[in-house]
Amino acid sequence: MSLIPQEFIQELLGRTDIVEVVGRSVQLKKAGTNHKGLCPFHSEKSPSFTVSSSKQFYHCFGCGAHGTAIGFLMDHLGLTFPDAVRELASQAGMTLPVAALDPQQAQQDREQRRLKQNLQTVLEQANRFYRDQLRDSKRAVSYLKGRGLSGQIAGHFGLGYAPDDWQGLARVFPNYEADPLVQSGLVVARDDLGETIEPGASQGQAVTRRYDRLRDRITFPIRNTQGELIGFGGRILDRGEPKYLNSPETLLFHKGEELYGLFEARAVIQRQGYALVVEGYLDVIALAQHGVGNAVATLGTACTAEHVRKLFRHCGQIVFSFDGDTAGQKAAVRALEAALPALSDERSAKFLFLPPKHDPDSFVREHGADAFEREVGRAQPLSVFLLDTLGSGLAMGTAEGRAQAIARARPLLALLPDSALKTQILGEFAKRVEMPLAELRPALALPERHAGTDKARRQESERRHERRPSMTTQRANRLAGLRTDHAQTAMRILLAQPELWSTLSPSQHELLMQDGSSTQALAGWLEAQLDAYPDSSASALWEGLRLAGLLNQVQSMGVADGLEAEPASAHQDLMGALRWVELERIRQRQEELSRDGLIDEATRAEFRSLLSRRRELG
């Protein structure tokens, strides 16, 4: 749980305009009292993404994404909650309070922030040095020209050159023995046994030798999605190993999470609706120079699940591009495994295998962007690649081969979430292994599917994709939910429209806070919040729920769906829900009294009173 005070969150959101925050990443247009634009979380052609100034909330009626300004920075930029709060606070001219934090934690937090800022400063200094060195090195410039890169594109990506000097950085860092040079990954440190000291363990260590990590290499600055410099990649000019060298794992840089070029490509990815994942820095840069600006590259590691999740925050489709050789096929299978858990009916992946002896860099230089885009258009859908992979090298005409294919499929299909896509893939696979789907599911150790489950899932998918319904339809949908849990429906309305809490009577408050009710904890929390902060907005409450560890529960209730309801309609629905709650409480109490036999006048009088109230409620 975060230790950031609720008072600070309240004030921060009060000073923040979500339209301005979202508008930095999404082109918004005024639409009535709200703003609309193309959703940054999935691919769409018609805008279904709305931002409400009055509610300080965003909501996509296509994919269901929703949240506050803080949530937008977390989901869109991948920030942690404290970092998102800190970013908004900086924009609002506010200082994050540390007095309320545990003193030890506050001190550690301050030290880590200072260290991160220091490491970023060091990296920026090194980057300026590398860029200056590139301008002065005819050999390095000649190499880039030989790769077909212009000065303009080299400048756009901030390319530089690390000179062929064991301690070249000493020219820009007079104190070459300073710990931040090792902690940032710029300098390699070795102990008296010749062992490399890890960047995170360098402070206080006895170092006998230091030297620049990158020497005689083209440098590629690596930035996070906020544009902050977090590390470098280096490509050797002549023959030698390793051909590519990246920064090590540091406080700033985690290669399994970051993608080269994502900061530069974000806007194009959102506009194009898909991200292209390639294998090298030069592939990204060459494609961008030829007008294909939506490419990113992994950083010396196979594509990870975190890479996939990060890309799906920006688009609805990923196209993985690999060489057609054996190594490329293996890399594609690893990407397939990373992508499967993140797929849905709205998120898809494809696999592009270029002709032999070509990578994206060489192909686009030889054939041009149009030809490359045609290749992308012919990329294999993930479903096709998966099914082909399952049968690859097996004698599918034999029972043994088909059984082996089922064994291969078992761990892979278990990664794929239930969806219409999974149902389609299973159906196709059943045909290939010549087994009825009803028998294939248990062979794959998959749970049985029921028609009712499929129907409910289709209905839910249709609901999330339809255009915003009329208020009458919204109200009917909400009232339909009362048949299941009326108290939760009431809480859903109150959390979306907190000003309605003050319109309830004490007895209605008690209905929601009754012991054992599904809403007891939430109602108690809401009452305490509104006692402390009477003017809380829905967005401030939302972040309060996050701080209290209740946000996941509230999101599963569909609270965001009620944010756009008219207050009068919401109030009417709330009163209807509470009526049902009270009727249910009366029924339960009457049953209790009846079981005890109504043996005295007091219980009989209570029973008659309940009956009278029940008639009043109708």
- At residue 80, the pLDDT reads 83
- At residue 470, the pLDDT reads 35
Residue whose C-alpha is closest to residue 230's, from 258, 210, 256, 202: 258
The predicted model scores a pTM of: 0.65
- At residue 95, the pLDDT reads 81
Query: Is the Cβ–Cβ distance between 276 and 292 less than 8 Å?
Result: yes
Give dist(CA 123, CA 187) in Å, integer: 11
- At residue 471, the pLDDT reads 35
DSSP class of 501: G
Identical topology for domains 262-378 and 469-617: no
Residue whose C-alpha is closest to residue 533's, from 5, 15, 14, 7: 7
Token readout for 421 is 């896509």
Considering the domain 106-246 in this protein, what is its CATH number?
3.90.980.10
- At residue 105, the pLDDT reads 66
Query: Is the Cβ–Cβ distance between 207 and 191 less than 8 Å?
Result: yes
CA distances from 586 to 257, 483, 494, 509, 581 (A): 55, 17, 23, 16, 9
The class (CATH top level) of 262-378 is alpha beta
Beta bridge partners of 232: 221
The string of pLDDT tens digits covering residues 45-57 is: 889 899 988 788 8
* CATH architecture, range 469-617: Orthogonal Bundle (1.10)
- At residue 448, the pLDDT reads 59
- H helices of 295-348, in order, are 305-312, 326-339
Query: Is the Cβ–Cβ distance between 140 and 161 less than 8 Å?
Result: yes
Secondary-structure percent of the chain, ordered helix, strand, coil, rounded to 5: 55, 10, 35
Instruction: Tell the residue number behind the tokens 């949908």, with chain if given.
Output: 477
- At residue 98, the pLDDT reads 58
Q: For residue 37, with 0-12 CB atoms within 10 Å meaning exposed, 13-18 middle and 19 or more buried, which class applies? A: buried
Domains of the chain, residue spans: 6-91, 106-246, 262-378, 388-463, 469-617
Instruction: Tell the residue number behind the tokens 């918004």, with chain if given.
Output: 28
The string of pLDDT tens digits covering residues 416-449 is: 988 899 999 999 999 999 999 999 999 998 865 5
Residues in the chain predicted with pLDDT less than 70, given as ranges, are: 1-3, 98-103, 105-106, 202-204, 447-484, 515-518, 560-564
Does domain 6-91 sit in CATH 3.90.180.10? no
SS3 at position 234? strand
Could you give the angle at the alpha carbon of 583 between the alpha carbons of 577 and 586, nearest 5°?
145
Query: Is the Cβ–Cβ distance between 504 and 601 less than 8 Å?
Result: no
